[in-house]
Amino acid sequence: MIVKKTMFLFFSLLTFILLSSNAQALPSFARQTGYACSACHVQSFGPNLTSVGRNFKLNGYTQTDGKNNNLIPLSGMIRGSFTHTQEGQEGGAAPRFGRNDNATIDEAAVFLAGRLTSKIGAFVEGTYDGVENIGVLDNTEIRFADHFEVAGQKVVFGLTTNNNPTVSD
């Protein structure tokens, strides 16, 4: 019975993954700007930003393509796993897990990421670790940005607050 449930879960997840659309940066950033990942991220992924990505961040995550500006900038991500071993593990594979055939949510995250007002944007990540069974507020950054001109040159100024020094460039 457990094997049937496990196989059903596996094929359900596989079907869900195969029917999913391609990822474009954080979906909320992509909806807001109309850009693909590669416009802002070096190699289309990760923390390294292109000049477009740095400017987007510098200006408080507020740039838009003029569409979908009334949407709440929410995105999510989930990663799971299933472990089957040749023989069951005495005492269980780990705390809260059975001897064998264990499925878990490795990580689930919710992002509030994008324009909140015309001059304020945010990148807030809350993560649940299904193996450790804990939730945390991960990288969080809220930015205010505005600009003015001096001798024909645009000057950007702002204020940022974050809970992780590595969030900033």
Q: What is the pLDDT at residue 143?
A: 93
Give the tokens for residue 39: 């416009």
Q: What is the pLDDT at residue 24?
A: 42
> Does position 153 have pLDDT exceeding 90, yes or no?
yes
> Does position 46 have pLDDT exceeding 80, yes or no?
no
Under a CB-based contact definition with an 8 Å cutoff, are residues 114 and 121 in contact? yes
* Lowest pLDDT segment from 23-32, 85-94, 158-167: 23-32
pLDDT digits (tens, 9 = 90+) for 102-117: 888 889 999 998 999 9
Percent of the chain with pLDDT over 70: 81
pLDDT digits (tens, 9 = 90+) for 122-142: 989 999 998 888 999 988 999
Q: What is the pLDDT at residue 98?
A: 81
Q: What is the pLDDT at residue 124?
A: 92
Q: What is the pLDDT at residue 59?
A: 92
Q: What is the pLDDT at residue 23?
A: 43
Q: What is the pLDDT at residue 14?
A: 56
Mean pLDDT, to the nearest integer, of 66-89? Answer: 83
Q: What residue segments make up the domains of the chain, in order of their start?
A: 2-85+100-167
This prediction has a pTM of 0.69
